[in-house]
Amino acid sequence: MKLENKLIVVTGAGSGIGKELVLALLAKGAKVAAIDLREESLKTLKDSLGDKADRVTVHAADISDKARIEKLPAEITDQQGEIDGVINDAGIIQPFVKVNDLDYAAIDKVMNVNFYGTLYMTKSFLPGLLKRPEAYITNVSSMGGFLPVPGQSVYGASKAAVKLFTEGLYAELLDTNVHVSVVFPGATSTNITKNSGVEAPKIEGGKEYKTLPASEAARLIVSGMEKNQPQIFLGSDCKTMSFFYRLSPLYAIHLIAKQMKSLLPK
């Protein structure tokens, strides 16, 4: 898809990969409707754009609020014109605990934002996208959406739901003008932990895991959309674990369990 002069909706646009997606899309000549839960983050984003700010509208919204999301297509169209694409980037993680210690409030929140938020956005915008000459839906899953990560089991389940939902959508839309991509980020440098209200686990020995810069993640997503890639894998860790999981699922599960063991409460 050629992005120049296209209007792309981005959720989670106030920070992290979402913010970098806004910048990457603007660099390609696109217009952007930026959606985020935090109105102050959207204001900061808008103020930072300089002479490109007139190509961006901001919309504070909780993507897990179906009634609010159903109003967004008309709201955005009134301000910027017809919508050509949606990138569902917004998401949260769960507390770093095992399922037995995870309360239902946290479970509901993760599923509502990660899966139902993606579903509401897709259902609300797809009718309009089907009327465009060419359109795009990109849904961000996770490495945890195809590889089980202890301490993030419900988060992984929500992202696995996004994976299969998006791949099913891809199959359903094969004979239409709407392209579909699912994105699998590995460890990425964002503030998702803080935004999720979750405390990051302490890493033994003070060592740090290598993470992909959010700007590079956004560049790869935009590049994947330009090439109409159905699957977009971000980071060497994601690509490596995808290979291992397809080659030997049990080996990959034991490997990730060993890595996570020291990070979880006993």
So which residues are the catalytic ones? 155
User: Cβ neighbours of residue 94 under 8 Å, at least 6 residues apart?
Assistant: 102, 106, 107, 110, 152, 154, 155, 196, 198
220, β-bridge pairs: none
What is the number of residues in the chain? Answer: 266
* Residue 147 DSSP class: S
For residue 4, give the amino acid letter. Answer: E
CA–CA separation, 53 vs 46, rounded Å? 6
CA–CA separation, 177 vs 57, rounded Å? 25
34's tokens: 């930026």
Q: CA triplet 149, 208, 238: central angle to 5 degrees?
A: 40
129 and 243 Cβ atoms separated by less than 8 Å: no
